[in-house]
Amino acid sequence: MEHLTLGLRDGRTPSWRDPDRFADEQSQPGFRGGRLAAQRKELMDSVVARLTATGRQVKVIPYAVAEPGEDPGPDLALCRKYAEEQGWTLAQPHFDETGRAAALEDRPAWRQVRALVSGGFARGVVAVNRATLTMADAPYEELLTWLTVHRSFLALVPPARLPRTS
């Protein structure tokens, strides 16, 4: 598995939650993140518009992943707050304690999220950022394709709403 190592322009090594990390990654040569970010946003906008136009609720599942022993509560709170600001209905939050390095298919709570989405129980998933799911482009693109097939979306908390790290 190929690992992507990035540093910020000021020489700091970014935290996975640092909003600056995502701005710099978009400028890396060969990084498809910009296209995938646009695809994710377009999917989210179209699903939300379709549900809203038909008078249906936009029900979302807050999702977080934590390292073993780490508290997912702050990330889930950010997801809930963002979803509430959008006027979306919240389903029960799900989180994995497998760490971010674990593949999505190896995360038990993520498998539950997929089952709920594929069953139509929810139409969206809200995560703090892309790193919650995967930073690798191929699996991220596969996730977006899967969501498209299920007429569902992924919402990411805007970087401006994330706490800054030093």
Distance CA 54, CA 51 (A): 5
Asked whether residue 130 is domain-assigned, the answer is yes
Q: Is residue 62 within 8 Å of residue 89, measured between CB atoms?
A: no
Total structural domains in the chain? 1
Q: Is residue 9 part of a domain?
A: no
In a domain, 10, yes or no: no
In a domain, 49, yes or no: yes
**Global confidence as pTM:** 0.80
CATH number of the CATH domain containing 148 = 3.40.50.1390
Report the pLDDT averaged over residues 39-64. Answer: 97
* Residue 141 within a domain: yes
The token duo for 113 is 């999220």
In the block, tokens 């997929």 appear at 114
Distance CA 29, CA 85 (A): 35
Q: In this structure, is residue 66 part of a structural domain?
A: yes
Buried b (16+ CB within 10 A) or exposed e, 78-105: bbbebbeeeebeebebbbbbbeeeeebe
Q: Please compute the mean of the pLDDT values over residues 35-43 and round it to a whole number.
A: 95
Within-domain flag for 61: yes
Q: How confident is the model at residue 165 (pLDDT cuts 50, 70, 90)?
A: low
Q: Write out the residue range of the structural domain in which residue 93 sits.
A: 19-160
Whether 23 shows a pLDDT value over 50: the answer reads no
* Phi/psi-derived region of residue 55, left when phi > 0, alpha when psi is between -120 and 50, beta in every other case: left
pLDDT tens readout for residues 116-158? 999 999 999 999 999 999 999 999 999 999 999 999 999 999 9
Indicate whether 4 pLDDT > 80.
no
Mean pLDDT of 36-60: 96
